[in-house]
Chain A
Amino acid sequence: MNIKIVSIFPDVLGTYGDQGNARVLEYLARSTGATTELVSVGINDVVPVDGDLYLLGGGEDGPQALAARRLQAGAPLQRVVERGRPILAICAGYQILGRSFVAEGKTLPGLNILPADSVPATRRMVGEVLSEPLIGIGQALMTGFENHGSMTVLDDGVEPLARIRRGSGNGRDGYDGVIVGSVIGSYMHGPILARNPGLACHLLSCAGLGEVQPSRRHRQLHHERARAQIESLWRTVRA
């Protein structure tokens, strides 16, 4: 089995270590005996639509606006969605999949794949996140690191990814991220798939790889970060 992982514009949406998600997926897929092909699509390249799994990362305002313009031309990600292939979009990448987002003070059209709008928040949301996933990924808890100035408002009835226990996530609704069909959005860096092996395995299953087991170190990192967040949460509550 070969799996084709497509990383969208890591040259401009690669400011927060989110390329790590692609590296983690390759590593996990290979551990099952599958072969992998990682396509890093540059900002000047054509986005292939025959991939098995798509990734978008975070970036600053200017690069985010550029990435959105490029993805509007020819609508490649809309075709990926029609094919039902999984897309994981983080932070700026998550915002541009919505109806609209704000970059450098201007409201810009998104790709309209997610029924959501991202608007500037009154304060920047920075720090560790602890959340409870609302989908079965074999984890009671998720952790990550958020760093964003916009919040995301989901339309009524749209399913978020996780309930926030610590941190801000979408910013106002008490949740982080979104799941719409095969598309997952989140504000969590870390990178999210390094911190959350269950989500990484879930994505690979959605991409057709069957059952995937994380490595010992991967589980160890999840446990260590989750424990640190729980302890810190308890210290805050007691104080």
Chain B
Amino acid sequence: MSLARRVQLARRVAQLSAAGVRCAPRFQGQTLPGRLALAIDPDFLMHRRDEGLAVRSILVTGTNGKTTTTALVKELLGPNALSNRGSNLPWGVATVLAEGTSRSRDAVFEVDEAYVPSVARSLTPAVLVWLNMSRDQLDRSLEVRRLAARIAESATDIDTLVANAGDPLIVAHASEFRRCLWVKGPEEWRNDALSCPRCTSELLYETTWRCVNCGLHEPEADYQVDAMGQLSAHGEAIALLHPGLPGSFNLLNASLAVVAVAAATGGAVEQLARHATVTRGVEGRFTTWWLTGVETTPSLTTYLAKNPAGWHANLAMLNDADAELVLGLNAKVADGRDTSWIWDVAFESLGIGPVIATGERATDLALRLEVAGFDVTVEASQRAAIRLAASRGRNRIVYLGNYTAFRSLIGDLPALGAIAALGSEVAL
């Protein structure tokens, strides 16, 4: 079969299967067409470019915040932009490209850290957004330092790196990139990078960080955002960000999204910053729901975090919330089988009170929380845990779960009569 015919066949099969799986569960629909396209034509991502269907693409990678940042970039690129949501492996990207029309000139893809070099080689993206490098599921992925080195292999295929200046692991691996734009956020998670990623000596953190031995240091930030959302360029205030999502880490994500789109499209950061708003929760993240199936009609706000850095950032936001707290923990393959990381989350810093532990590994979580001084109730069924929280008198419930726990709770929400709260800012 000629090359051109194979490419066409790959696309055609992918499109047909995409139509076929629309009635199948959503997640399979996001990967199966791309799997088929890549099975027929392993270079499917690259050949699309040869066909004159090239898209100007932005890739988003890092440990935490990929889906949210991708949603922010998509808002900025406009309704015709292609984007994947959650399915961040090459076949997820292939699925989107197979379905994309020739009108789609811009694309943003979140890409799993391990696949950045191969996806970048195929798409030669305008921008790579590199959010952070923190420990996530070490039992199934490369250790974080090796993973950072692998991402850096994509340097020659990318025009501009837009990255977090506060992360030494990123900075240590950024020297090969042609052009770097550094963005500094209000605060950083440090626990995973305390020794220098280049020479293993200690890192000193003052207003900026540096290695005491080899000279690796925080690069001067091109853009900086403070805890109030004020975005500055080289020290000069230029815009106020309203990402519509809570937490200082989302201010950094929004800043990175704005700078990335400006770099890819030639737009002005000041203008773009005004539109960097996600108006609805991202796949249930940071979403507030009204539970019409529960007698007291409480509200429920749902948070997703996958690892210590994510739990730390989310719990810091929940610190003084006047709400019943429900925490969910699973340990499926997609979560990482090892739950040891819950002992790295600083639960001790939260207000000590009642909490409901739920999910398949509720007991692990319960011991962790009891050691931290919480009054813990275990309810393995997540749906029952939400009902139990609703029966406790306060009319607000906050749920934080790791990946599969969160997804299964979102799947359970219809049974609780959950309706996404309309017109609300996120509750916290």
Query: Which A residues are within 8 Å of any B CB, using their own CB?
Result: 11-12, 14-20, 23-24, 27, 43-44, 60-63, 65-66, 126-128, 145, 147, 189-191, 194, 215, 217-218, 220-221, 224
A-B contacts, 7 of them at CB < 8 A, read: A15-B138, A20-B344, A44-B202, A62-B196, A66-B195, A127-B139, A145-B339
Is B344 in contact with A17, judged by CB distance below 8 angstroms?
yes
Interface string of B334-347 (1 = CB under 8 A from A): 00011111111000
Q: Does B144 contact A (CB under 8 A)?
A: yes
Is A66 in contact with B200, judged by CB distance below 8 angstroms?
yes
Prevailing SS type, chain A contact patch: mixed
Q: Does B381 contact A (CB under 8 A)?
A: no
Is B370 in contact with A215, judged by CB distance below 8 angstroms?
yes
Closest 8 CB pairs of A and B: A20-B343, A17-B340, A62-B200, A17-B343, A27-B371, A145-B338, A189-B340, A11-B194
Q: Does B35 contact A (CB under 8 A)?
A: no
Query: Which B residues are within 8 Å of any A CB, using their own CB?
Result: 135, 138-140, 143-145, 191-192, 194-197, 200-202, 337-344, 363-364, 366-368, 370-372, 376
Question: Within the complex, what minimum Cβ distance (angstroms) separates A96 from chain B?
Answer: 13
A18 to B195, CA, bound (A): 18
Chain A's closest residue to B197 (CB) is A62
Is A19 in contact with B194, judged by CB distance below 8 angstroms?
no
Chain A's closest residue to B371 (CB) is A27
Question: Within the complex, what minimum Cβ distance (angstroms) separates A232 from chain B?
Answer: 11
CB-CB < 8 A to B201: which residues of A? 66
Is B367 in contact with A218, judged by CB distance below 8 angstroms?
yes
Question: Within the complex, what minimum Cβ distance (angstroms) separates A126 from chain B?
Answer: 5
A186 to B341, CA, bound (A): 18
Q: A19-B344, A65-B200 are in contact. List 4 more A-B contacts (CB 8 A).
A: A62-B195, A66-B201, A147-B139, A189-B340
Chain B's closest residue to A16 (CB) is B340
Is B340 in contact with A191, judged by CB distance below 8 angstroms?
yes
Is A12 in contact with B343, judged by CB distance below 8 angstroms?
no
Is B195 in contact with A63, judged by CB distance below 8 angstroms?
yes
Is B145 in contact with A62, judged by CB distance below 8 angstroms?
yes
- Do A23 and B144 form a contact, CB below 8 Å, given A15-B192, A43-B194, A217-B370? no
A12 to B190, CA, bound (A): 11
Chain A's closest residue to B192 (CB) is A15
CB-CB < 8 A to B368: which residues of A? 20, 194
Question: Within the complex, what minimum Cβ distance (angstroms) separates B355 from chain A?
Answer: 13
A97 to B368, CA, bound (A): 28
CB-CB < 8 A to A191: which residues of B? 340, 343
A66 to B195, CA, bound (A): 8
Chain B's closest residue to A19 (CB) is B343
Is B191 in contact with A24, judged by CB distance below 8 angstroms?
no
Is B338 in contact with A189, judged by CB distance below 8 angstroms?
yes
